Structure 1
Amino acid sequence: MITTLIRRAIQAGFVVIAMTLIVFIGVNVIGNPVDILINPDLNQAERLRVIENLGLDQSLWRQYLSFLHGLTQGSFGDSFVYGRPALDVILERLPATLELALCAMVIAIVVGLPLGLYAGLYPDRVSSKLIMTGSILGFSLPTFWVGLMFILVFAVQLGWLPSNGRGDTAEFLGARWSFLTGDGLSHLLLPALNLALFKTSLILRLTRAGVQEVVMQDFVKFARAKGLRENRIILVHILKNLMIPVVTIIGLEFGSLIAFSVVTESIFGWPGMGKLIIDSINLLDRPVIVAYLMMMVVLFVSLNFIIDICYTLLDPRVRLDGKG
């Protein structure tokens, strides 16, 4: 077990190193930040001085080696736009995105899991068919359109909820959080619902498919033959055995919520990493772009590692080393 964990950690390290090369070269061969960041009225000498200060006068390989050297010291370089360490700029926005992703995932699990369980246990009921029809809409409707409709209905027409910004925040664990205040919670609700819509449908349909597969297994029929209560059969025998694929989806989709919440953050003016990366791409702020992408690489590698461990906790028959 320990040996396998160490081997997986080493493999993850190689993946991260390979991605540093792919991300760095991919970002640096596209566009020229000099054309955006430097005033065209500057003379040639001033332009060369700015280019040298940004480190863009060096060859691509020298820039990459300098980038790797900075990584060993926990630095991604200074932002071209903000003039501060790129990692600090991103970490300032991380709590907002993390809060939005967590809230959206909680909504998706709390709504999607019970509805999927119900639809799988009673597939012939009209309510189950309505639930599955709603899940198709959740898959089909574009996120940006749903977000605009939320704003139009709940913010403009009804005036129940705000449509922009993060609202009041309170400090907890050294960061500012919206869910700790009433005003912040009201600002959080619409973007979280918008972000959770697709994930809810995904978890719902996956849970329903898992239930329909598990209820046909012999151990469920045997449990019913023994006269066990239906609640115990559902919670202990059915739900536990369908959780492995659900946990996989939840783990990976949580990473995608953090990495790809760009559309929702842009629509609702949520000051998170998604909005920051869009602004950085428009301004070709390479250090911030690279730092963001590398954080996402580490996030997905870590989530996959955690999911592997969760497998063994949910089902002892599953082993990281493939034995047993």
Structure 2
Amino acid sequence: MTASYLVRRLGHAFLVIFVVSLIAFQLGEVIGDPVTAILGLEAPESARVELREELGLDAPYVVRYAAYIADAFTGDFGMSYKAQRPVADVIVERVPATFELAMVALIISLSVGIPLGVVAAIWRETWWASALMTVSIIGVSLPTFVIGILLIFAFSVNLGWLPSFGRGDTVMIGGWSTGLLTPSGLAALIMPAISLAISQVALVARLVRAEMLEVLRMDYIRFARARGIKDRVVHFRHALRNTLLPIITVSGIQIGYLIAFAVVVEQVFQWPGLGTMFLSALTESDIPVITAFLVLIACVFATINLIVDLLYAMADPRVRLSKG
């Protein structure tokens, strides 16, 4: 891998993060008045002026943005207006819940979507393969919050099998709080993870089917069949193996998607993760938390894209030699 390719990809990643930070900071300027959110409408003007000076909101826009970027590079995103605590501490507390939810949803989407896509490709002429693809369209089309509400109605309200909100009991392992080691934590995770994963299951299944059909048309598959190799070996040892490379790429992007778009699922199930933190910050005009969340998501996407680009460059020299 050439150094120039690595430098280019790093430059692209930093450019994305810079642009998102600029947009996030500008969004904080128009999203509401944090002074009013903290003190209320009835506060005297003297108290409002004093708090505005204390928060540094009286400084010019450029000065505040430059100071924000300089502090962000050191991991300091300021103080939460509402919690009166460092924003970094507030985010670190919420990361385990969102990360575990996203990872379990990713595992579900891959473990269900890949077999469904393979089955739909191998037996593409059957009616039930067509039915699978039709159901996948429904899965992609249904909003995540609708799926969550339906699951709550079925398994919490009617059957009473699963809790409808919260994360359940958690245990601390080092500085990481996890619910994967407690029965109530696992029970609380099931419905949010399924709600978040269903649309991704449909996406993975359709992608695997399309890639599998393309691979099955290639010459080396015809040669393998002409040599008398069993269909099972052709399908799962040769065709599926060459189908998985784009799936791995999509899976990397899915991680960022699941973390970013867990906001809706977390709100439906009152899951104590980054999503509920972000929505709460929006209603309270907690600008430092809002901007830090958006920058964090940008960093996640940029990092994943950078890793995927580097892996592709290692696998295919044509990628890093291209100027595009």
TM-score interval w.r.t. the shorter chain? over 0.9
- Are 1:139 and 1:201, in contact at CA under 8 Å, matched by a contact in 2? yes
Partner of 2:209: 208
Query: Aligned ranges for residues 109-128 of structure 1 at < 5 Å?
Result: 109-128=110-129
Counterpart check, 1:321 vs 2:324: no
- 2:170 corresponds in structure 1 to 169
The residue that corresponds to 1:14 in the other structure is 15
Q: Partner residue of 2:289?
A: 288
Percent identity of equivalent pairs:
39
Deviation of residue 241 (structure 1)? 2.1
The residue number in structure 1 matching 2:69 is 68
Report the Cα offset of residue 173 of structure 1: 4.6
Shift of 1:7: 3.0
The answer (yes or no) to whether the contact 1:165–1:269 under 8 Å persists in 2 is yes
| Paired residue total | 322
Pairwise mapping of residues 39-118 of structure 1 onto structure 2 (< 5 A)?
39-118=40-119
In structure 1, give the amino acid aligned to 2:254.
Answer: E
Q: CA 1:33–1:249 in structure 2 vs 1: closer, same or farther (change >3 Å)?
A: same
Distance 1:141 1:19, change over 3 A: closer
Give distance in 2, aligned partners of 1:99 and 1:297. Answer: 19
Q: Work out whether residues 244 and 311 of structure 1, in 8 Å CA contact, stay in contact via their aligned partners in 2.
A: no
Conserved 8 A contact 2:78-2:87: yes
1:230 paired to 2:231:
yes
Supply the distance in 1 between the matched residues of 2:259 and 2:322 (Cα, whole angstroms): 31
Query: Which residue of structure 1 aligns with residue 276 of structure 2?
Result: 275
Q: How far is 1:257 from its partner?
A: 0.7
Give, in whole Å, the separation in 2 of the partners of 1:2 and 1:178: 43
Secondary structure of the equivalent of 1:320? helix
State how 1:240-319 maps to structure 2 within 5 Å. 240-312=241-313, 315-316=315-316, 319=319
Structure 1: how far apart are the matches of 2:133 and 2:41? 57
Question: Residue 195 of structure 1 contacts residue 264 of structure 1 at CA under 8 Å; is this kept in 2?
Answer: yes
- How big is each residue's C-alpha offset from its partner over 1:59-113, in whole Å with a ceiling of 9 and x where there is no partner? 1111111102212322111111011111211111011001001000100000000
Note closer, same or farther for the CA distance 1:284–1:252 as it changes in structure 2 (3 Å cut). same
Tell me, yes or no, if the aligned pair for 1:311 and 1:318 is still in contact at 8 Å. Answer: no
What code does the residue aligned with 1:320 have? Answer: R
Using the TM superposition, give the Cα deviation of residue 181 of structure 1 relative to its aligned residue in structure 2, in angstroms: 1.3
Code of the aligned partner of 2:116: L
CA distance in 1, matches of 2:80, 2:160: 39
Query: Considering only aligned residues, what root-mean-square deviation do their CA atoms show, in Å?
Result: 1.8
Q: Is the 8 A contact 2:96 2:273 kept in 1?
A: yes
Partner Cα distance (1:240, 1:28) in 2:
50
Residue in structure 1 matched with residue 188 of structure 2 by the alignment: 187
Displacement of 1:253: 2.1
Task: Quote the Cα distance in structure 2 between the aligned partners of 1:170 and 1:164.
Answer: 18
Q: Report Cα offsets for 1:212-271 as digits up to 9, x if no partner.
A: 111011111112222334333223421232223322322222211101111111111100
> How far apart are residue 196 of structure 1 and its match?
0.5
SS at match of 1:56: coil
CA contact (8 A) 1:154 1:160 kept: yes
**Alignment partners' CA distance in 2, 1:77 and 1:199:** 35
More deviation, 47-56/185-194: 47-56
Unaligned runs of 5+ in 2: none
Aligned residues of 2:139 and 2:198 also touching (Cα < 8 A): yes
